[in-house]
A and B are shown apart, each in its own frame.
Chain A
Amino acid sequence: MILDSKIPAGPLAEKWTKHKFNSKLVNPANKRKYEVIVVGTGLAGASAAASLAELGYNVKAFTFHDSPRRAHSIAAQGGINAAKNYQNDGDSVFRLFYDTVKGGDYRAREANVYRLAEVSVKIIDQCVAQGVPFAREYGGLLSNRSFGGAQVSRTFYARGQTGQQLLLGAYSALSRQVANGKVKLYPRSEMMDVVMIDGQARGIVTRNLITGAVETHTAHAVLLCTGGYGNVFFLSTNAMGSNVTAAWRAHKRGAYFANPCFTQIHPTCIPVSGDHQSKLTLMSESLRNDGRVWVPATKETAEKLRKGEIKVNDIKEEDRDYFLERKYPSFGNLVPRDVASRNAKYVCDEGRGVNETGEAVFLDFRDAIKRDTKAIIASKYGNLFDMYKQITGEDPYQVPMMIYPAVHYTMGGLWVDYNLMTTIPGLYALGEANFSDHGANRLGASALMQGLADGYFVIPYTIGDYLAQTLPKPIDANHPEFIKAAEEVKNRISQLLKIKGKKSVDYFHKILGKIMWNECGMARSAEGLKKAKAEIKELKRDFWADVKVLGTNEELNLTLEKAHRVADFIELGELMIDDALSREESCGGHFREEYQTPEGEALRDDENFAYVAAWKYMGENQEEELHKEPLVFENVKLTQRSYK
């Protein structure tokens, strides 16, 4: 199959306007005859469900949480970008577009990114109208900050809880439609499969997490807004429940999976404290504005420090290595996320890591406190310092913080065209679940922007074009495909329950995480990836032979829920490795050790790899098939990033 991205012709700035005009419309009287399923109720899902219901479609919204408000979008701290140029500092739609394409290391689609930048301004208007309490200046106008090294102040924020406030805004819009009867909400329901009739998505199979009932739901179109798959690494900043299952089941039904190896590692997370660790906590990137990153200059000093023979504050200035400032004199501690993360890994690999596990570097505020006073630092980062102290028991005003990179976001996802439709007709993917806008690396404060852009301002237009070509006839809930799909899900459940092995689900998840983190994490090599692939194949065999899932299906069963998810993560892990192996270049979050400049920087290969890698599922235990969507850059010039 040739991947048709359906990018409209014409100049970049006119593509979206023209496309909206050329899209078919659904007769207002007919809208109520269409059913749309939205899976996931985070920023993308809640905004899409609300907007489609407002248009008149009948929406069914599914979440595995007890409430739509719990989706992990809620945890985003920093802010949301929008090209409002309220600060008069030279921002524009084109500049946001340009920064995003460049930040993504030229592996994103120009047209999608431009549209994202274009609708970003409307998102802020929408959220303010919903009552989202963004930060304001004394004059009453909205406040902005510069975020993630951007040269302009275009980030809107609500204290350190922007994701929460935006999600609660979308959740309130969704709640309004639930009250209006236009959205039927299915909480604690997990999607287990997509139902296909005549090659089109016509519904889903779900498991009611309280009763275990396997149910089928019909729809004329299905939207997957199910987030990212960072939990394939076991330890990540994702929520415990974040999973790839919905996207993976769609993939197995024929939706191509794009750029799975593009994962983002965030440099400022609280380091792992022991084997019991269940997740990693992110601390805002803004800390790097004032904190200085360092490790002891020698392995010996670091060893003494780890053994507790010396105290950190006793290490003399000349024995400290401020490695980011040393290597990148002009950007210093503010180099992009991938560069900061990789360098932290390098110094720890050299044996200069600073906590008991040897996997941490210092983020030191001593000099900032000396320069600005403790009060000023507290006013900027007080809540983060408190959070750090609560988790680690150490006071960052007295001793330097310890940080280490952690998996934070996945740029890869289901392949979608310009309409956000996957390779399965009628099946869409929105937000982090798709691959479309961030290329190989996402800029700070852009995830919230994309989730809401897709849900509020893209899908309401593009879905009409598809539905207008579908007859507004009810879908037959008793179609054999529904019965068959439900049976398959039930079989899989009983298969898992029947194994009655010896190893817990978490045992497998932890091993998978270690393999992925070591070989498909911050730095990857052909050798390591090949080794990892063999290990994962073995892990999969072991899982299906020896996993221990207790209890029954007909009850709330957290182990069973997790077993499904981990089984899918294992398969995804293998695909990520295939993808990382086939991409013989370094770009953004994907760093292949074989492809680097003499200075150790990522070396892109635009000649051979300026494409989207979209993988087609070929059947159980078969190698997946790679399809390439070439990326054409007509409006930006490809350059090598440099932060020296």
Chain B
Amino acid sequence: MSWVTKTLKSTLGRKLIMALTGLFLILFLTGHVSGNLLLFKGDGGEAFNMYAKFMTTNPAVKLLSYLTYISVIGHVIYSITLNRLNKSARPIGYAESGAFTNSTWSSRNMGILGTIILVFLAGHLYSFWFQIHWGDVPIVTYAGEEYKDLYSVVKVAFQQEWMVALYVVAMTFLGFHLSHGFASAFQTLGLNHKKYSPAIKTLGSIYCVLVPVLFASMPLYIYFTS
């Protein structure tokens, strides 16, 4: 076994993958949420559709998107193997658990939270990402140039109550996942320091509320404004 595979097979190596992919996905979320803020522009979706085209055609973004796919897949696969390893480390469980006194609920249930988010993600990708790439999306023209009208797809989708509700609930789960994941990734990378860790923790607490709230506000905004 080479030192690389040995490292990646170790518990610490696997955690490193989880942390790095997790942090990359946090970066992705940051970009995603910022871009999507264009939905609030009230220009009938022009800016949003132009942004969508840029995101699907720009080669640099393309590269980043491949990294995102890899991160999602890596994050999922490693979480599954880690979960199996962790379960096997305690074949017989306790009859009584007092875990709620020593750790947060989300920190103990990252797997469940992640699974819910993954299921949501599959649906989300089908509804939008798949559609813009391969689906039957109407075309609009701005300043003589053709654009896929993703905005209308979004608008149609979020006029259905159950979709809005689904998105809001899913974002709650994402919030809980991030509430542990954000600071935890830094701890895994070994970035724990008297001076900086409090700032990371604060940032994490803000992030895990802000980003899901912004995401959730989009379907709500569309639902209530149209």
Indicate if A touches B (C-beta under 8 A): no
Give B residues with C-beta under 8 Å from A. Answer: none
